[in-house]
Structure 1
Amino acid sequence: MFFNYKRENIKALTIALLFISTSFSNLFAQKTTTVNSPDWSKNATIYEVNVRQYTPQGTFKAFEKHLPELKDLGVKILWLMPINPIGVKNRKGTLGSYYSISNYKTINPEYGTLDDFKELVKKAHQMGMKVLIDWVANHTAWDNVWVKTHPDFYTKDSAGKFVPPVKDWTDVIDLNYNNRKLWQYMVDAMIYWVKETDIDGFRADVAGMVPTAFWNYARKKLDKVKHVFMLAEWENEGLHKHAFDMTYAWEIQHIMKEIYKGKMNVGNLDAYIAREKKRFNPKAYRMTFTSNHDENSWNGTVTERFGKAQRTFAVMTFLVKGMPLIYSGQEAGLNKRLRFFDKDTINWKKSDYRKIYKTLVHLKLKNKALWNGIYGGEMQILKTNDNKNIFAFVREKDGNKVIAIFNLSKKEKIVNIANKKLDGKYKVLFNKKDIEITDHIKAELKPWTYLVFYK
């Protein structure tokens, strides 16, 4: 996405969708699906790559040198922000929005060549990582090649002029999916990248602004070429029925922010977990995060949004049900808003966050309780002596177990939990000390801290 207006619009739309979905969850919960996620995704963590800002050069070749670090981190899926050329007409800033596409079948020359990209995908595969590319199906740049060759692909006003999908998105124009020929051309472009470069799937920008029927059609066509993985930038359960493996878990990220502000509490988290079980098919993956390109550029750094709780919420995104996302630079403690339309290289400094993320990613790889969808354990909420401020749960699967206890308040808390599910011998997250727990835990937790035990 492009800028704050867009982010806030999507947020408003998402809240509306959530209201409808949660109010009638028993009637409209998506319980059937034809989507079968690739086996390699079941214990994956996804990493968002901002090629422009990743290195001073901002190229595929320069980014390629970082692949060994990402392999060591343990991430299995690399999602690259759009790799296509950016429109010049009505461009914003010096480099333009990543999401203003001028040609769906060519490479942004600022990043390198088609061969450079093929080599990047090949090397990622050799290291056991999969590659998704960002796909902008809702709109194009004003000077996209289709403007001249297929003007009938676009939405027009009463005067016959092209229009942005939203008034303030002045650097792009809306595509008209009432034209079924557009569907064929768009899917043909997607298939081109799968066949030509051997990518493993797509992240669909503002997926809910494009007809779900199109995505169903696209997934069916793509899977005939290769069993792909599809991520939707949206939060609607219906998208999982035939098209998408994973959707954004925006709501829990919103709840985390509001808890830090003191406007929500653990009760809101408990209610969210209950709604998720009703709304989504157990096979559906939900992407959890504390940052991404939109959150960072438009809503603030993790320090600005989560303050002293940023580490706690980072840990939480790996332990709740869902696939966690790491955005470029988070493992280096990224603490600035990257400019969206201009060059603004990430400062790759040493940070404790690399060790934190590496520990969490590798725990998820090995511990089945934390795996994605039906492969992982369900969240079982644990009652505590302070259910407004202490968030506690257990997840179990095939002999693996994780117990997580979070103090989500600005005050020190004495935590008491009594439950037979606690019984067992565990290791403590981050220090690997052995500990035996009976059916009762009593612990002192400082503000915005946690205890995590696993086996």
Structure 2
Amino acid sequence: MFNAIHLNSIGYVFEFGMKIIIDCVYNHTSPDSVLAKEHPDWFYHKKDGSFGNKVGDWSDVIDLDYSHKDLWKYQAETLVMWAKYVDGFRCDVAPMVPVDFWKYAREEVAKVWPGAIWLAESGAPDFIRFLRSKGAVGGSDSELYQAFDMTYDYDIYPDLRAALLGQKDLTDYLAGLNRQEGVYPENYVKAHFLENHDVVRAHGMIDDPAALRAMTAFIYFMKGAMLVYNGEEKGDAHHVTLFDKDPVDWNGDIDLTDLLKKMHEIKQLPIMAEGSYEAKEVRKGVLEAVHSLGEGEEEEQLIGLFNTTGKKQAIPTQLPEGIYKNLYDGSSVQVYEGVMRIGEITIIEK
């Protein structure tokens, strides 16, 4: 299971100051897996006794059955082994595995690596509702936070996708984004994304490069973590299945590398993790997001304005008159008579 090749690869990544989170697929295995041969009783069986899926028909995989506690021990032992070498786990379709198992697994891993990072590939509410309607396990984001540090942004992604495709405005998406501050644990972390392996590429929905840059920065500016999918930094627009090889075209016209580096730098400001967060659309195509920390005269704010229109805008503001530094590009931003003039991406401290 673990050999010198793995160890050398891990060491190579660590040399770059990076961390490693490995994918953990615990809902299912391939039909010809060792586990299916050695412990067929640990799997879900259809009425005819054959292997299958609890929900849907994923022809290439068969589902595990977590009513068997020996399976819990087996799975947790594997995680404990990997926890000695990696920084954490990204758990595939985590809602379909009992939350009590995840809690148990986390406790076991903590015995060897208490600082492990736990990321759940959570599901959209419609998917969770569908699972439950079929009598399957369907853990909501709120339940998953009992065991996980982070969950995916699928609770609000459908509204974002609809807005980016021009099917609706951003009202529902922004309402859902702000609602996260009130429905999840105070220390919740979301893995925000514009794209990933299961959804349409961002550039496939956002054709204009200026709008793509502004939306990418907006997502990165949110409270929580940012998920950057392979090829997103080069504006790949095509979407392929998991079964296709998909090399990155490094010679494309779009390059978001510097943008991502700068947003990563800004992300390290303490207020990004410790403050409250709110976002709104201040004008058609112009998004404002505010991180706030403290109260009254002691209140600090980090304000981001993300202009997807491709044109400079004059935005009304309650900021005191003066000259502010744009943390994104170092330029000066003037506030005069309640108006601030902005370009594509403007991030200032108050």
Question: Is TM more than 0.5 here?
Answer: yes
Higher relative contact order (Cα pairs below 8 Å, separated by 6+ residues): 1
Per the alignment, residue 451 of structure 1 pairs with 346
The structure-2 alpha-carbon separation of the partners of 1:137 and 1:202, relative to structure 1 and needing over 3 Å to count, comes to same
Q: C-alpha distance in 2, partners of 1:434/1:361?
A: 21
Unaligned runs of 5+ in 1: 1-105, 108-113
- Asked if 1:268 is matched to 2:172, the reply is yes
Per the alignment, residue 405 of structure 1 pairs with 305
Q: C-alpha distance in 1, partners of 2:178/2:250?
A: 39
Per the alignment, residue 117 of structure 2 pairs with 229
Q: Give the alignment of 1:16-415 within 5 angstroms.
A: 106=1, 114-195=3-84, 198-227=85-114, 228-235=116-123, 236-295=140-199, 299=200, 301-308=201-208, 309-349=211-251, 351-365=254-268, 367-371=269-273, 375=274, 377-381=275-279, 384=282, 386=283, 389-397=285-293, 401-407=301-307, 415=314
- 1:138-192 deviation line (CA, Å, top 9, x unaligned): 0000011111211110011222111134443101101001111111111111112
Query: What's the secondary structure of 2:346's corresponding residue?
Result: strand
The structure-2 alpha-carbon separation of the partners of 1:404 and 1:438, relative to structure 1 and needing over 3 Å to count, comes to same
- 1:77-125 deviation line (CA, Å, top 9, x unaligned): xxxxxxxxxxxxxxxxxxxxxxxxxxxxx26xxxxxx312212222333
How many residues align? The count is 326
Q: C-alpha distance in 2, partners of 1:452/1:364?
A: 11
Contact 2:277–2:290 (Cα < 8 Å) also in 1? yes
RMSD (Å), alpha carbons: 2.8
CA drift at 1:434: 3.1
Counting aligned pairs with the same residue, the percent is: 29
Q: C-alpha distance in 2, partners of 1:266/1:413?
A: 20
Q: C-alpha distance in 2, partners of 1:240/1:256?
A: 22
Q: C-alpha distance in 2, partners of 1:200/1:222?
A: 11
CA drift at 1:217: 0.8
Q: C-alpha distance in 2, partners of 1:383/1:115?
A: 52
The structure-2 alpha-carbon separation of the partners of 1:436 and 1:315, relative to structure 1 and needing over 3 Å to count, comes to same
Contact 1:193–1:199 (Cα < 8 Å) also in 2? yes
Q: C-alpha distance in 2, partners of 1:341/1:132?
A: 22
Contact 2:217–2:306 (Cα < 8 Å) also in 1? no
Query: What's the secondary structure of 1:292's corresponding residue?
Result: coil
Contact 1:266–1:390 (Cα < 8 Å) also in 2? no
Q: C-alpha distance in 1, partners of 2:316/2:161?
A: 26
Query: What's the secondary structure of 1:348's corresponding residue?
Result: coil
Normalized against structure 2, the TM-score is what?
0.83
Contact 1:426–1:436 (Cα < 8 Å) also in 2? yes
The structure-2 alpha-carbon separation of the partners of 1:451 and 1:264, relative to structure 1 and needing over 3 Å to count, comes to farther
Contact 2:90–2:118 (Cα < 8 Å) also in 1? yes
